[in-house]
Amino acid sequence: MNQHLAFADYAVFIIYFIVVSVYGYTIYRKREKNEHDAKAYFLAEGTLTWWAIGASLIASNISAEQFIGMSGEGFFLGIAVAAYEWIAAIALIIIAIWFIPVYLKNKIYTMPQFLKTRYNESTALIMAVFWLFLYVFVNLTSILYLGAVAINGLAGGEYLHVIMVGLAVFALLISLGGMKVVAYTDVIQVAVLIIGGLVTTYIALTTVGQYFGVGQDAIAGFKVLMEKAPEHFKMIIPRPTETSTQLEINKYLTFPGMLSYLAGIWIINLNYWGCNQYITQRALGADLQTARTGILFAGFLKLLMPVIVMLPGIAAFVLYENGHLPQLVGGKDGAYSAVLTFLPTGLKGLSVAALTAAIVASLAGKVNSISTIYTLDVHKKYIQKEATDRAQVNIGRYAVFAAMLLAVLFTWNDVLGIGGVGGFTYIQKYTGFISPGVFAMFILGMFWKRTTGTAAIVGVIAGFVLSVLFNEFAPALFGNETLLYTAWPNGNGGYEIPFHICMGLSFFFTMLLMIAVSFAGPKVNPKAFELDTEMFKVKPQTTVLIVITLLIIFALYAKFW
């Protein structure tokens, strides 16, 4: 068992790098005649196919926090964490049918533009600045840190800063080509991450089979996992009782059983996939049918993701519990890297390429969204109102470079303390505080014509304040047992309300506040969107894809409930 990379691994990785680079350059050369067309640069308007949109959505979504963080949650929780992926598939169906038509009909290209069109300029500017800070100092930094740490561990543990800069430069080169280059290179990235991820899962399962005497058989290895860790194959985490251990309570705090499905997990997914520039940007430049098919294709691919990012974590748990994984370090977040040590020479390079593909695709997509928001919603509106298309593209490229430079600087010595709390937790914590207010603002703005601009600002502020209240102060102020929640001991001397429940409560009260404030305004806000039933009709082939996705999800839940 070799824990480091060999020459063949580096060769496989270099081949991957060359293929992506050459393909990206080819795409860039094809769009040179539109090089200074702002909409072509930021949105690849009208040039993305449904499969490019779907693949790009997945490549941008799956990154180091999934490979490392979700594999770690698989180690800790088991298959329950797959709900993030499978509920996302349903959320993408909702977005494809109801959200995207609203965006496209109203020619929405950025999320701040949505807020300006529907509410007012103040709301748009506040959220544009917030999203820029969030994307740079939360998302970019955590993706870069987690990715560099994971790859550095496999490369010998001595090249953290070199790898960090290498990932940043690779993503920078792709993103400078604009949205079309990002999206089409994502097709290769997602192919690499799926193939490499499946190889890792296959090796993990055959290793389990070998250690437990059932042969190098992936199916037999999977059966061993179900036999040795049956509690890891239950979708619903049971509510703790008086006799529950702290470990059982901690699992419930992370994913509070059925209450997750009544509260937070829907807000997380609908906000992430439907109200997030980083994600929706891929579909905003396409026609409705292409955008819908691409989003549904991404939802179909989401069904596969737990096999890639979660199963290795469960395999690591079973091996570790039975003394077959001494190389595991760093607790649950070390599960994926520990499993990679079982891969033979060459295949380990493929898995590192898969991990790199996920990281680079996410970094490139994120900085492209940063440059889009900054250029279109801040610079052109408030700094250089008469900027030509050429100037906008150049400004976008400067923004790409500046965002990546800031991310490297703040990640260099882990200034933000990402390593202390874990990248997955870091992202969830800081995005989760604002998600209830943002989602309430978007959902009411789309589908309730009475919602006012004042209500939107109240909603964003209230959503944040309520999130902080329920997450940090409610047990001390109101007690551990109320009609609204139960707080549980967190093992550190305090009590916590499960995060998903906090999000659900924050969203509920934010909605009530926004509705109450809106009743003080006109019955129909002059800025309300015009909706008609024709917008939401789907073609028969779209219906078939939706039904297939829902049937698969139903079967998975029926099996592992």
On whether residue 445 sits in a domain, the answer given is: no
In the numeric block, which tokens belong to residue 413? 């010595």
Distance CA 66, CA 218 (A): 22
Q: For residue 495, list its beta bridge partners.
A: 489
The phi, psi pair for 440, rounded to 5°, reads -60, -40
Angle of the 288-302 helix axis to the 540-560 helix axis, nearest 10: 20
Distance CA 138, CA 148 (A): 15
Range of the domain at 185: 7-106+132-238+278-412
Q: Which amino acid is at 539?
A: K
Query: Cα separation of 52 and 420, whole Å?
Result: 36
Domain-embedded: residue 559: no
Taking the C-alpha atoms of residue 397 and residue 172, their distance in angstroms, rounded to an integer, is 9
Q: Is residue 550 part of a domain?
A: no
How far apart CA 557 and CA 550 sit, in angstroms, is: 11
For 542, counting Cβ atoms within 10 Å of its Cβ (0-12 exposed, 13-18 middle, 19+ buried), the class is middle
Residues forming beta bridges with residue 496, ordered by sequence position: 488
- Phi and psi at 486, nearest 5°, equal -125, 130
pLDDT in tens, the chain (561 residues): 455 677 888 888 888 888 888 877 787 777 555 555 566 666 655 667 888 888 888 877 777 677 777 888 888 888 998 998 999 999 999 999 999 999 988 888 888 889 999 999 888 888 888 889 888 988 888 888 888 877 877 776 678 889 899 999 988 887 877 767 777 777 777 788 788 888 889 999 999 999 998 888 899 999 999 999 999 999 999 999 888 899 899 889 888 989 889 878 899 899 989 888 777 777 777 889 999 999 999 999 999 999 888 999 999 999 999 988 887 766 777 788 888 888 888 787 887 887 787 788 788 888 888 888 899 888 988 888 888 888 888 898 899 899 999 999 998 888 777 766 556 666 766 777 888 999 999 999 999 999 999 999 999 899 999 999 998 899 999 999 999 999 999 888 899 999 899 999 999 999 999 999 999 989 999 999 888 888 899 999 999 999 999 999 999 999 988
Would you give the DSSP letter of residue 81? G
154 in Cβ contact with 148 (< 8 Å)? no
Domain count, the chain: 1
Residue 50 placed within a domain: yes
In total, the chain counts a number of residues equal to 561
Encoded tokens for 346: 């060459």
The answer to the question of residue 35 being in a domain is yes
Instruction: Identify whether 309 is part of a domain.
Output: yes
CATH number of the domain that residue 175 is part of: 1.20.1730.10
**Inter-CA distances, 36 with 83, 171, 256, 450, Å:** 42, 21, 50, 40
E strand or H helix at 496: strand 495-496
25's CB contacts (< 8 A; 6+ apart) are: none
Report if residue 307 sits inside a domain: yes
Pair 468, 437: CB distance under 8 Å: no
Q: At a CB cut-off of 8 Å and minimum separation 6, what does 119 contact?
A: 441, 445, 451, 452, 453, 456, 457, 527
Please indicate, yes or no, if residue 70 is contained in any of the structural domains: yes
